[in-house]
Structure 1
Amino acid sequence: MTVSPSSSAQAAREALAVRLTHLRKDAGLTGKDLSARCGWHPAKTTRLQKGAAPPSDADIRTWCTACGADDQADDLIATARAVDSMYLEWRRLHQGGMRTVQEDWYALHEQTRICRVYVSNVPPGFFQTPGFATALMGQITAFQGTPNDVAEAVAARVARSRFLYEGGHRYVVLMEESILRYRTADPDAMRGQLRHLLTVMPLASVSLGIIPFTAQRTVWPLEAFYLHDDTVAVVETLTAEIKVTQPRELADYAKAFAGLAEMAVYGDTARTLIQAAIDALE
């Protein structure tokens, strides 16, 4: 795994490295002593202590044994796996197909009370129709060269929409107007998708704002992100899913969302933009 562009993931990796370093020092070992006990080159110890390389489960167990701290191995392994999950490449996530990832998202949305979403490329998954989702996920599968389980993945994605109709969940969504105009699917699927947006807008659980092309920007267009109850932000890039948990970064995403919300239009004005996009497909 490469070093994450997210400082949350890197900060967590460095914190794990500090814990390993403290174990070594508490055991009264130098870096060379520990390397000798572990049976690896001192350069590896240096990399692990700097957080420059992620330790494997075996590395952690070997390190703990060398320090006489076998009782801490399981906790450190769990921590390392949590760090690893902060930055995951899509190809790695989709190596067995897309369905499993969609089911994981289902679990996260089930636990979320308020989800604030900003998208600049496609509607959020819980707003997508089967036709649109099929076209989009087919494109992603072809681009990534991962196993094609689009039909199953679409079913899992669409299942998330149930939370729009259940109590206890609220979705505050901001979409760039460009999403309404991108021909991500064929005209029929696009038309169905846009009409579906009009259908979900009146739901008590939904607030949908559209940021018009003509809006005076105070926040530039960003990558898609999902803020779940102010505890985690899931950011989607071309190559990876990044889970941000560091409070400072979460505050930045909340600040960006507030700025984007001020540029958006709502209600009848938003519906007019959606209807204009539908009319353009006729």
Structure 2
Amino acid sequence: MSTDYQQARVALGARLRELRTEAGITVRGLAATCGWAPSKVSKLENGKQTAAVADLDAWAIGVGRPETAVELKGRLAGLESTYRSWRRQLAGGHRAVQDALGAQHERTTVLRGISASVVPGIFQTPEYARAVLSNYAELHGAVRDVEDGVASRMRRQEGLYAREKRYKVLLWESALHVRICPPMVLADQLDRLMSVNGLSTVELGVIPLGADVRIAAGDDFWIHDDRLVIAESWHAEMWLDSPEDIVLYRKVWDALAVGAVTGRDAHRIIARARATLTPV
């Protein structure tokens, strides 16, 4: 969990505790009013659990200060604008998540990104995207509207053909071999990857398995015009716009780019992976 996020969660918990103590209500008393276990009140106050919107409404009413619900939810919104859990995002469906990313892509002229385990969404075929979204949705227990998510992801690829845009993408060679989908789907995906490698808007770098690198692979991330970084982990996305964070992620990208091969060399690595699947 990011330090900034945890600090914000602790600050929200301190405000919740302040409201409770000002009202002269004990932990057990508030828990009884809200129908919770006392441990939930303690976890929320100590920044050990992220509050839901309904929790904040119940808290405000429980301490006799319903008007503070707006303030509390504003604090939560600020917290979640940086740290967006997949569970909460996918509760609204795949299309909402993909459309939010699409809106950022539309605003972006130069996109730098890196992916260690899958072919990036901007290059995916519909079948590959369907497999990726379905598998990760199952992980988080949110399998509805996968098709809408796929459609939104495909619309985002229109930017590949916009002359003013540039896609500078690094891909670890291992991602070319991950069987997150049936072999024929992966074969078609690698064919697609070889075709986009020739687009004037795309600078694709493949980091070979035996490459000398300054740092090891970490979480996938995307830098939008040096104004926003979207970093992904198993449980959340982080949307980071502080200058310090952007400088850090740009340094990581630049360091990894040194170990990548491009152009025909990248094409050969992709073709070699493709040849292991089925006859061309």
Query: What is the CA distance between 1:17 and its match in structure 2?
Result: 7.6
Q: What TM-score results when the alignment is normalised by the length of structure 1?
A: 0.78
Deviation at 1:80, TM superposition (A): 3.1
Structure 1 counterpart of 2:177: 181
Cα distance between partner residues in 1 of 2:22 and 2:182: 64
1:131: which partner in 2?
127
Residues 113 and 35 of structure 1: is their aligned pair in 2 closer, same or farther, counting only changes over 3 Å? Answer: farther
SS at match of 1:263: coil
Q: Distance in 1 between matches of 2:267 and 2:203?
A: 12
Hey, what does 1:85 align to over in structure 2? 81
Report the more deviating stretch, 75-84 or 220-229: 75-84
For normalisation by structure 2, the TM-score amounts to 0.79
Deviation at 1:221, TM superposition (A): 1.1
Q: Residue 160 of structure 2 corresponds to which residue in structure 1?
A: 164
SS in 2 for 1:156: helix
In 2: Cα distance, 1:192 partner to 1:6 partner: 37
Contact 2:13–2:46 (8 Å) recurs in 1: yes
- RMSD after superposition: 3.4
Residue of structure 1 equivalent to 2:91 = 95
Q: Which runs of 5+ in 1 are unaligned?
A: none
Matched, 1:243 2:235: no
Q: CA shift at 1:137, angstroms?
A: 1.7
> Distance between the aligned counterparts of 1:106 and 1:277, measured in 2?
29
Is residue 113 of structure 2 the alignment partner of residue 112 of structure 1? no
Q: Secondary structure at the match of 2:258?
A: helix
Task: Pick the aligned partner of 2:193 from 194, 197, 207.
Answer: 197
> Structure 1 residues 95 and 80 mapped into 2: Cα distance closer, same or farther (>3 Å)?
closer
AA aligned to 1:169 is K
The answer to whether the Cα contact below 8 Å between 2:208 and 2:261 also exists between their aligned partners in 1 is yes
Letter in 2 for 1:140: Y
Superposed displacement of residue 51, structure 1: 5.7
Measured at CA, do residues 245 and 14 of structure 1 come closer, stay the same or move farther in structure 2, by a change above 3 Å? Answer: farther
Amino acid at match of 1:230: D
Paired residue secondary structure (1:183) = coil
2:215 to 219, 223, 239: 219
Correspondence 1:152 to 2:145: no
CA distance in structure 2 between the aligned counterparts of 1:149 and 1:47, rounded to whole angstroms: 33
Whether the 8 Å CA contact 1:60–1:76 is kept in 2: the answer is no
Whichever residue aligns with residue 185 of structure 2, its letter is: A
Which of the numbers 2, 10, 22 marks the counterpart of 1:6? 2
Q: Distance in 2 between matches of 1:34 and 1:47?
A: 19
Q: 2:118 aligns with which of 103, 117, 122?
A: 122
